[in-house]
Amino acid sequence: MESKRQQKFAGLLQEELAAIFQREGAAYLPNTLVTITKVRVSPDLAVAKVYLSFLNTNNTSLSLATVNSHSSEIRYKLGSRIRHQARVIPTLTFFVDDTNEYVEHMDKIFDKIAKERTQEQRDEEANEQ
């Protein structure tokens, strides 16, 4: 469980990273919208795990690799934005947040189950007549 301090710092990082990606994200990933969905910070605030979601991209792993290759530049920009609010600028590690894909997958499964149930009900009604 994260402490209040970690949660507060993670919120700050999420906000500032979102601003960086909004303004300068096109330089890293043209025509791709990057959303910071979650930030987890280590207890010593030295390491931050940043979870990203990509829109308008065909290859999320390539997009993630591109962002990871620019992580030192992103960390530098983050440092210039939060230098008066933090002693240490955390090391950034980026991960893909596949929650949306998981939700879509589960929705498809539930739709399939619902269709099978309605088909079974129709079959039972036809047999009763």
The CATH number of whichever domain residue 20 belongs to comes to 3.30.300.20
The Cα-based distances of 74 to 6, 13, 28, 63, 117 in angstroms read 20, 12, 10, 15, 50
**Taking CA 95 as the corner, what is the angle to CA 49 and CA 55, rounded to the nearest 5 degrees?**
125
Which of residues 117 and 65 earns the better pLDDT score? 65
pLDDT at 129 (0 to 100): 66
Could you give the number of structural domains in the chain?
2
Are both 47 and 71 inside the same structural domain?
Answer: yes
At 21-71, the pLDDT tens digits run: 999 888 888 888 888 999 999 999 999 999 998 888 888 889 899 999 999
Between CA 80 and CA 58 the distance in angstroms is: 32
Are both 60 and 103 inside the same structural domain?
Answer: no
Mean pLDDT of 111-119: 85
123 pLDDT band, cuts 50/70/90, is: confident
pLDDT at 98 (0 to 100): 77
Are both 126 and 67 inside the same structural domain?
Answer: no
In contact, 50 and 84? CB cutoff 8 Å: no
Q: Can you give the residue range of the structural domain that contains 121?
A: 98-129
Q: Is 35 left (phi over 0), alpha (psi -120 to 50) or beta?
A: beta
Are both 87 and 115 inside the same structural domain?
Answer: no
